[in-house]
Amino acid sequence: MSELPADSAAWLQARWQTELDERAAAGRLRELRQPVPVRVNLADNDYLGLAQDPAVKNAVRAALDIGPASASSSPLVRGYTDAHASLEAALMSWHGFPSALLWNTGFTANQAVLGTLAAPGDLIFADRLVHHSLIAGILKSGAKFTRFPHNDLDALERLLGETATPGRTRWVVTESVYSMDGDSPDLARLAELKRRHRFLWLLDEAHALGWFGPRGQGRAAEAGVTAEVDILVGTLGKALGAMGAYSLFHDKILREALVNHAGEFIYSTYLSPLLAAAAQAALIRVHELAPRAENWRNQSRQFRAALRAHGWDTPSGDSPIVPVIIGADQAVAVLGARLLERGFAVGAIRPPTVPAGTARLRLSLKASTTWSELESLINELDAWRAENPAHFPATAGQQ
């Protein structure tokens, strides 16, 4: 008599229980929690506070009075509304691109753009620290994929020089502000490399919008390289306080290709028109707030300097993302929980989101963050370190 087939449900349960137990033992188990009230929120990406801005909320109410709450269908059926078209026009004007396309999420945008437009036979060079959504799109495309060391444009230039094959489509994929390190590449040099090596450049500006640029348009506008960026991806759910994302193109045929071939666009119920209205109202607020941006950036510099003066491992910079490298997975989880008890919401980021040995606090500064709040946070960090010296070398706290 042959053996009875295995119970598939039991095998599936056992397989995942083992994996989750291993992750928990390593201090890397993710858990879904509802937020609790805090004194200082340095965890989310609402950098300008626009998710709670009265003008943005009023735009949602006004849109609800005249239209539906949901797009209720694919954009190719009836989901693409006047609200979406109006937002696209505003985004094109803001960034100076002739073509735009909205997406439900930033992950969807990156996966669809690269997964659809790149193809087997193409060659893609991506910074080692680009977001998982960009990697997902690259892998979906089937293109040959090479990572270059983070922000190492000398290495990128060597790779470009070694692969100069006529007729081959080459891409370079970077971000303007990296989501876990808060740092930036030299965009002016990337533009110069683009002019010499004639690759397609995709730049993800998700974490730069609102904080950088003469009108909050991001790092590309600040560096004066918008004309060299072939595809710019931005988000509506961070500094703009809404939800969704967009991609911008100098070549309108790329938009047409995505509308016709990107399954993420064709087969999904579209972004709510209420959120499109919220994002357009947020654009107006970004323009109004932009003259104050240097104040936020100065505070980021000063906060980082103060952290380093207290012996914390924090890079220099002026972005809203301030990483504090702790190292050990369990330590950063315990520290994050301790800060939450003290009224500070922070990101406690562990592998595999960041490389092993670089678990960190991820602090998201806000335009509304005060210096006294940041000083209080440093005091809490110092107190915790004094209580837990085993997590730090003997020189911790010294310069």
53 is catalytic: no
Within 13 Å of residue 274, how many CA atoms lie on the same side as its CB? 13
Instruction: List phi, psi (to 5°) of 62.
Output: -65, -40
Catalytic residue flag (residue 388): no
Nearest to 105 by CA among 263, 232, 234: 234
Q: Is 179 annotated as catalytic?
A: yes
* Burial zone of 238 (CB within 10 Å; 0-12 exposed, 13-18 middle, 19+ buried): buried
Considering the candidates 46, 122, 127, 175, report the single residue annotated as catalytic.
175
Contact indicator for 127, 174 with CB cutoff of 8 Å:
yes
Entry field: residues in the chain: 399
From residue 224, alpha-carbon distances to 175, 219, 239, 268, 299 in Å are 16, 8, 21, 35, 24
Q: Which one of 95, 131, 194, 366 is the catalytic residue?
A: 131
Dist CA 302 CA 308 (whole Å): 10
Sequence letter at residue 39:
R
Q: Known catalytic residue: 310?
A: no
Radius of gyration of the chain measured on its C-alpha atoms: 23
**Which residue is it, tokens 């997964």?**
115
Distance CA 327, CA 313 (A): 10
Strands (E), the chain: 40-42, 99-103, 123-127, 144-148, 170-175, 200-204, 231-235, 245-249, 321-327, 344-349, 359-364
Q: Is 131 labeled as catalytic in the residue annotation?
A: yes
Spot the catalytic one: 95, 194, 207, 366.
207
Verify whether residue 250 is a known catalytic residue.
no
Given the residues 84, 194, 238, 366, select the one marked as catalytic: 238
Exactly one of 110, 179, 272, 364 is catalytic; name it.
Answer: 179
Give exposure, 380-399, as e/b (b: 16+ Cβ within 10 Å): bbeebbeeeeebbeeeeeee
Which among 46, 53, 181, 204 is annotated as catalytic? 204
| The residue type at 176 | S
197 is catalytic: no
Catalytic residue among 41, 45, 110, 133: 45
Catalytic residues: 45, 131, 175, 179, 204, 207, 238
